[in-house]
Amino acid sequence: MTDQAGGGHPVDALAGECVWQLQATEQTVATAESLTAGLISSRLASIPGASNVLRGGVVAYATQIKTSVLGVPEDLVERHGVVSAQCAEAMAANARVLFDATWAVAATGVAGPDEQEGRPAGTVFVAAAGPVGVRRENLSLTGSRQEIRDASTDAALRLLLTLIRDVPDGGAGPG
């Protein structure tokens, strides 16, 4: 995940590539995080130049914050739960609007040690929203609480990077 650069500062290649791609195409990103509790934003913000592309983020650990701040519909939560692909998609789509960003990335799930909504630790959903709509990944992770959170962050950043690369001009197209 990280390498050491001169001066002993960690270099996060995955977050660095996201920031570089966003800068190169003059695009922006926002985050909506539950189980990662700000790790995605933190990794992006650790990259020099991130202030040019990172619009902001919400740590929505509580269900009430997902609904009141991020605008996840309460009926969606009642039908699917907060540990669901649908919730991750709504978090990403709504964060994109809230922060007026080209892209938004979201993560929700169970880091453990206990189950939530009948789902075991390691059940994670990440989503990214952008000009091409919303895409998600369903993950089944293993490891400690911190390992699950770190792997969720990696997955969210990889999904974001894939989408940025697939739509290098932000979907604006020519003219």
| Residue extents of the structural domains in the chain | 9-166
pLDDT beyond 60 at 4: no
How high is the pLDDT of residue 171?
Answer: 58
Rg (CA), the chain: 16
Q: Cβ(50)–Cβ(17) under 8 Å?
A: no
C-beta atoms surrounding 171 within 10 Å: 14
What is the reported pLDDT for 11? Answer: 63
CATH number of 9-166: 3.90.950.20
Those residues with Cβ within 8 angstroms of residue 60's Cβ, 6 or more apart along the chain or in another chain: 32, 33, 34, 66, 69, 70, 91
pLDDT, tens digit, 9 for 90 and up, residues 68-105: 999 999 999 999 999 999 999 999 999 999 999 999 99
DSSP class of 138: E
Share of the chain above pLDDT 70, in %: 89
Average pLDDT over residues 103-125: 97
Q: Give the count of alpha carbons within 13 A of 102, CB side only.
A: 23
Backbone angles phi, psi at 35, to 5 degrees: -60, -25
Please compute the mean of the pLDDT values over residues 99-128 and round it to a whole number: 97
pLDDT of residue 172: 53
Tens digits of per-residue pLDDT, 8-29?
A: 334 699 999 999 999 999 999 9
Residue range 136-151, pLDDT digits in tens: 999 999 999 999 999 9
CA distance 8 to 119: 40
For the record, the structure tokens of 115 come out as 């189950």
d(CA 109, CA 83): 5
Beta carbons within 8 Å of 94's beta carbon, 6+ residues apart: 32, 70, 71, 72, 104
